[in-house]
Amino acid sequence: MDIEPILKIRRLRFVAPTAEMLHTACDVLLGMMGVRSATAVDKAIAVQYDLRQATLEQLEKTCTESGLVLRGGLHGWRRALWRFKEGNEIENAARPAGGACCNHPPARTH
């Protein structure tokens, strides 16, 4: 049985990045397992990855280790929401498709 990838596309925004820093971070991201593309766009990196092999938290860590500073504010809140949703997706993907009782409504007895 083939396992379908869980593709994610995110735009990570940074505080005052240089073009060289963005390109260096893209190269490092592309070396990670599960990262399909990483492209510098303005003051951001557009990245596509398979959630089964890489997480946003890992991508963020890689970017900060490359010297980039992730934006806070609304973008910080958005990333927190993405991380929360990814955690749920990973947890749900680990469960068998038909195994949970909540996937089936209760039968009527009347």
52: burial class by Cβ within 10 Å (0-12, 13-18, 19+)? middle
pTM of the model: 0.81
CA 58 from chain centre, in angstroms, equals 8
pLDDT digit string (tens) for the chain, length 110 residues: 568 899 999 999 999 999 999 999 999 999 999 999 999 999 999 999 999 999 999 999 999 999 999 999 999 999 999 999 999 999 888 876 665 556 556 666 66
Cβ 87 vs Cβ 41: under 8 Å: no
Q: What is the pLDDT of residue 39?
A: 97
- Which residue ranges form the domains of the chain, and what is each CATH number? 7-95 (3.30.70.100)
Q: How far apart are CA 34 and CA 101, in angstroms?
A: 32
Residues 6+ apart with CB under 8 A from 57: 83, 86
